[in-house]
Structure 1
Amino acid sequence: MPAPDRRDPPAPGDLLGPYRIVRRLGQGGMGAVYDAVDTTLDRHVALKVITPALADDPQMRERFVREARAQASLDSPHVVQVFSHGEVDGRLHIVTQLVPDGDLGRFVRRHGPLEPGFAADLVAQVADGLAAAHRAGLVHRDIKASNVLLRHRGTDTVAQLADFGIADAWSAGEMAADVVALGRLLGSVLADGVGRELAAVVGAARSADELRDGLRSWGTGRRSVPPGGRRGRRRLVAGVAVAAVVVVGVGGVLAGGGASDDLGPEARVARALQQQAGLDDTSATCAAHRIVERHGVEGWRRPEHRDDVLAAVAACLWWPQPSASRISPRIVATYKEPSGPR
């Protein structure tokens, strides 16, 4: 059997060492990124295959190995973790953590500019990851929204800095440029750019550490919530109500039947959430879809599923959803689109 031509891009089902290609996620500056399965550990990873022209350059190969090792040494929850790197069948590659919920640029395009407290919190997380890189002797040089990957956990969002593909050895000038780029990142996700208060915080920071601390101090007392934050207080109250009734109250409505007998299971859960928790039609329909899809009409009421049910409801309360009449599994699953480093 002839050896694979490394100039041909991997296709779904192909093996690259122990990694089986699932699908292509996108194209980055140094190569294509794939969702792949590590067949040894049976887990999904992000696999970046370096463009052959770059892999053939001895200086680029040396730099690639140096930077892959440096990034792998970083110990930060806000930097995408590097698992391994190497070469198989002439293909140079790097294997990293697969972050499941897309990048910040895509999120803003889909949902609109961020509320200032939420934006400051995300950029503070990126600054924390960048500070770890600076301490390890790396500068990033390509900080932008598409290189910030997101992981949503209920109402919390973790930001992780990705793609150190054009990173370089540390220098004071480029470290300062990274900090300036963080300020530009903040402005790019806000509707009206960086206002006077935030501009003062950004301008005073001489390092990523200082910017992180400044943004966190600025955010003290402000709710750092996702888009829709202007309705945060009302939705928080609704969330407390949901916590009180979602398992007992809604379960009672479903068990009791009555007027809702002619409705399907999702509609019955949605009506109960509207009547007993005061949710609007859109949030109730979104939550009902998630609950029934994951656990069925009866299974979701079991005590061991309570936290998952509440997390599903909270996600629909905090995050803007499409019109209730048009919600589909694809739209509800917005936050489960696998993404790797760009």
Structure 2
Amino acid sequence: MTVPPVPVPADPGAPGPGDRLGPYRIVRWLGRGGMGTVYEAIDTTLGRSVALKLIVDPYAADPAFRSGFVREAKAQASLDSPHVVQVFAHGEIDGRLYLASQLVPDGDLAAALRRHGRLPAGEALELVAQVADGLAEAHRAGLVHRDVKASNVLLRRRGTHTVAYLADFGIAGPAGGDSPADDVRALVRLLRDILSEAPEPELARLLAEPPATAAGLRDALRAALHAEPAPTPRRRRAALAAAALVVVAGGAAVMAPEEVERSPATHAALADSLERDAGLDRSTARCTARALVRAHGPRHLEDLPADVVLTAAAGCLWAT
């Protein structure tokens, strides 16, 4: 994905493209937050692109802030998650407090939502589960984010797959009291805000009564993603139609008509096919097979239209 150029801010003291700060060569301005300005830069020592955050005054001049900044930068750098932006270096260059971190190229979730709208349930659950994984690692390390929101979720697209990264631990702090739970509640709010459709009842319960921990939320979201969809009349009709084609095309036709007449396996073959391919219970599958053979005879099963098979199955289901 090609990222459009972003204009350099008008601040005359800000570095521009080509300027150097220590080993970093500025490429372009990316954005400004409450505590700093972020640039794309090249680490000329290692030859890699980084996101270079320069802390602005008055924060950079505050000794208490500087101490906390160093502490939290080290804590974030120690996190071991594929869904947390990696910290490469931090310190001071030419009197500027800086943080060099992983450059995630495809923008943030807030910008993606503005461009493309809200997300279908599957995509939303997958992205938030990834963020929950990063948040769980932060909490395990004793670090609370305190600012979980769409603009702090960065995206990297790989074909049809999108990887989410939790970013900007600028106001993070040590875990204490109810603060990890506050992070989880913020992440649940994010999920609710990005869904493009009303959630299924099971997911609605998850939103109303979420797990208390980020790890629990991650696991619940992944379980919801991989759960077998509940059978609905529409899905059942589709399955029966597929089974009917299997039965008509291959169930009874595998036997010559005279063999079918002589063999009690007729009912069993049809019942097995309906049970396996349509998800019918054994009793209903046997009932359907008997109804088809009784009504049409074994010689003509291969010529039956699918709706006839469906009707027979429906009759057994309603009777049950």
TM-score using structure 1 length: 0.61
Q: Is the 8 A contact 2:188 2:210 kept in 1?
A: no
Structure 1 residues 130-279: aligned runs within 5 Å: 130-192=135-197, 196-202=201-207, 203-221=209-227
1:111 deviates by 1.1
| Structure (1 or 2) with the larger CA radius of gyration | 2
Partner of 2:20: 15
Q: Is the 8 A contact 2:16 2:28 kept in 1?
A: yes
**C-alpha separation in 2, matches of 1:140 and 1:42:** 30
Q: Is the 8 A contact 2:28 2:40 kept in 1?
A: yes
**C-alpha separation in 2, matches of 1:162 and 1:195:** 30
Alpha carbons of 1:91 and 1:111: their partners in 2 closer, same or farther (altered >3 Å)? same
Is 1:87 the equivalent of 2:92? yes
Alpha carbons of 1:172 and 1:222: their partners in 2 closer, same or farther (altered >3 Å)? farther
- 1:103 maps to which of 108, 113, 116: 108
Deviations 1:118-151 (A, max 9, x none): 1011000000000000011100010001100111
Structure 1 residues 51-90: aligned runs within 5 Å: 51-90=56-95
Q: Is the 8 A contact 2:121 2:195 kept in 1?
A: yes
1:195 deviates by 5.8
Q: Is the 8 A contact 1:52 1:91 kept in 2?
A: no
**C-alpha separation in 2, matches of 1:123 and 1:195:** 17
**C-alpha separation in 1, matches of 2:13 and 2:25:** 16
Deviations 1:251-299 (A, max 9, x none): xxxxxxxxxxxxxxxxxxxxxxxxxxxxxxxxxxxxxxxxxxxxxxxxx
Is 1:43 the equivalent of 2:48? yes
Q: Is the 8 A contact 2:155 2:163 kept in 1?
A: yes
Q: CA RMSD in A?
A: 1.7
Deviations 1:205-233 (A, max 9, x none): 0100000000000111479xxxxxxxxxx
Q: Is the 8 A contact 1:55 1:92 kept in 2?
A: yes
Partner of 2:32: 27
- 1:124 maps to which of 129, 138, 150: 129
For the residue of structure 2 that corresponds to 1:87, the secondary structure is strand
Partner of 2:241: none
Q: Is the 8 A contact 1:24 1:33 kept in 2?
A: yes
**C-alpha separation in 1, matches of 2:17 and 2:228:** 46
Amino acid at match of 1:216: R
Deviations 1:301-341 (A, max 9, x none): xxxxxxxxxxxxxxxxxxxxxxxxxxxxxxxxxxxxxxxxx
1:88 deviates by 0.8
**C-alpha separation in 1, matches of 2:184 and 2:124:** 16
**C-alpha separation in 2, matches of 1:194 and 1:109:** 21
Q: How many residues were matched structurally? A: 218
For the residue of structure 2 that corresponds to 1:187, the secondary structure is helix
**C-alpha separation in 2, matches of 1:208 and 1:198:** 16
1:43 deviates by 1.1
Partner of 1:300: none
**C-alpha separation in 2, matches of 1:193 and 1:85:** 43
1:194 deviates by 5.5
**C-alpha separation in 2, matches of 1:14 and 1:212:** 42
**C-alpha separation in 2, matches of 1:64 and 1:7:** 25
Q: Is the 8 A contact 1:85 1:94 kept in 2?
A: yes
Q: Is the 8 A contact 2:184 2:213 kept in 1?
A: yes
Deviations 1:129-177 (A, max 9, x none): 0000001110001000110011111111110000000101101311000
Amino acid at match of 1:132: E
Query: Structure 1: where are the runs of 5+ without partners?
Result: 1-5, 224-342
Alpha carbons of 1:195 and 1:185: their partners in 2 closer, same or farther (altered >3 Å)? farther
1:191 deviates by 2.4
Relative contact order, higher structure (CA 8 A, sep 6+): 1
**C-alpha separation in 2, matches of 1:193 and 1:130:** 25
1:12 deviates by 1.4
1:193 deviates by 6.1
